[in-house]
């Protein structure tokens, strides 16, 4: 039986070639890493799934849920996963597919398992605690966004009047960064971002490329830059931008093509200037 010998080659051209040669009416194997809850041991289960045209990984998981019987005819429970938008916008369905973190809602079986009997492996992301099966708790990722105050400071309790004028060129620059969907792919790929269950360490462990990029986004926003000193001060502390090892895995892993290494370099420069300013102000 053929195995997935091309698991790590997931370029767009490779996926397109697989789509074009995908065999109609085939059955593929989903090999899924399962876990019944936090602290419980993991196990692998395999399922046979008949492929329908255009089927994605979420549809395959729904097929399994309707009849949760493994490939060796053992009755089991439906596989638990997270999902919301089903159009690669919310990031909730991110899992490790054939060794790479990506969104399962946009992952087509034709692209990853084009032949009869091909196997696709599904695992939960390793950098976040597993809630159950493929569902992970991404709270730490959102906590990092609060660390860098990734928001525009607006008090909605009274009329603030017109805000500063927007420059279309700067809006265009920020647009790319604003597409971040907090999926966690950049963190899963980053050697500096390690699994941390102890919440008391979330304020000193590496914030991650997504948070650094969001800090840059809001530092460049006409109103958001009010909080720029706070953001840079936070990014000077342990777990800040200097913890980045510059391996550049993050930018390759980001499904939205966000210029993460540019953001890391830009924030690095801003932090240096802020450190000089603080030095001369005696802070």
239 binds ligand SF4 (CB under 6 A): no
| Nearest to ligand SF4 of 23, 236 (CB atom) | 236
If one asks whether residue 10 binds ligand SF4 (CB under 6 A), the answer comes out as no
Choose among 186, 197, 196, 184: nearest CA to 261. 186
> Is 105 an interacting residue with respect to ligand FES (CB under 6 A)?
yes
177 binds, among ligand FES, ligand SF4, none (CB under 5 to 8 A by kind): none
> Which of ligand SF4, ligand FES, none is residue 249 near (CB under 5 to 8 Å by kind)?
ligand SF4
Q: Which is nearer to ligand FES, 23 or 86 (CB)?
A: 86
CB neighbour list of residue 139: distance below 8 Å, 6 or more residues apart? none
**256 makes contact with ligand SF4 (CB under 6 A):** yes
Tally Cβ neighbours within 10 Å of residue 185.
25
CA 187/CA 1 separation, integer angstroms: 34
CA nearest to 110, candidates 22, 12, 198: 22
- CA dist., res. 215 & res. 95, Å (int): 25
Backbone dihedral angles phi then psi of residue 12, each to the nearest 5 degrees: -60, -40
In the bound complex, what is the minimum distance in angstroms from residue 148's beta carbon to ligand SF4?
Answer: 13
Q: Indicate the Cα dihedral angle 215, 221, 225, 228, nearest 10°.
A: 10
- 266 makes contact, choosing from ligand SF4, ligand FES, none, with CB < 5 to 8 Å by partner type, with none
Question: If contact means CB under 5 to 8 A according to the sort of partner, which of ligand FES, ligand SF4, none does residue 182 touch?
Answer: ligand SF4
> Six-digit token pair at 166?
């927007």
Q: Determine, following the binding rule CB under 6 A, whether residue 184 of this chain makes contact with ligand SF4.
A: yes
Residue 84 interacts with, from ligand FES, ligand SF4, none (CB under 5-8 Å by kind): ligand FES
- Site residues (CB under 6 A) for ligand FES, limited to 69-98: 83-86, 88-93
In angstroms, the CA 195 to CA 115 distance is 35
Interface residues with ligand FES (CB under 6 A)? Answer: 83-86, 88-93, 103, 105
């Amino acid at each position: 039986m053929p195995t997935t010998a091309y698991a790590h080659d997931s370029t767009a051209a490779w996926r397109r070639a697989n789509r074009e040669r995908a065999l109609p009416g085939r059955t593929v194997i989903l090999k899924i890493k399962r876990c019944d809850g936090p602290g419980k041991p993991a196990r692998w289960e395999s399922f046979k799934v008949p492929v329908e045209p255009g089927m994605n990984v979420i549809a395959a998981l729904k097929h399994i849920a309707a009849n949760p019987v493994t490939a060796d005819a053992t009755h089991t429970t439906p596989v638990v996963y997270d999902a919301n938008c089903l159009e690669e916008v919310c990031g909730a369905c991110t899992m490790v597919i054939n060794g790479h973190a990506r969104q399962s809602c946009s992952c087509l079986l034709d692209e990853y398992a084009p032949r009869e009997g091909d196997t696709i492996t599904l695992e939960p992301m390793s950098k976040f605690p597993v809630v159950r099966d493929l569902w992970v708790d991404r709270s730490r990722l959102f906590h990092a966004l609060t660390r860098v105050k990734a928001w525009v400071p607006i008090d909605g309790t009274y009329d603030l009047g017109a805000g500063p004028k927007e420059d279309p060129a700067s809006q265009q620059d920020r647009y790319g960064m604003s597409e971040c969907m907090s999926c966690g792919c950049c963190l899963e790929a980053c050697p500096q971002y390690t699994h941390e269950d102890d919440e008391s360490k979330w304020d000193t462990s590496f914030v991650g490329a997504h948070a650094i990029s969001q800090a840059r986004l809001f530092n460049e926003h006409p109103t958001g830059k009010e909080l720029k000193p706070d953001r840079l001060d936070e990014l000077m502390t342990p777990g800040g931008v200097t913890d980045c090892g510059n391996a550049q895995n993050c930018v390759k892993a980001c499904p939205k093509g966000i210029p993460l290494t540019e953001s890391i370099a830009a924030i690095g420069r801003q932090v240096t200037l802020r450190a000089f300013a603080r030095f001369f102000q005696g802070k």
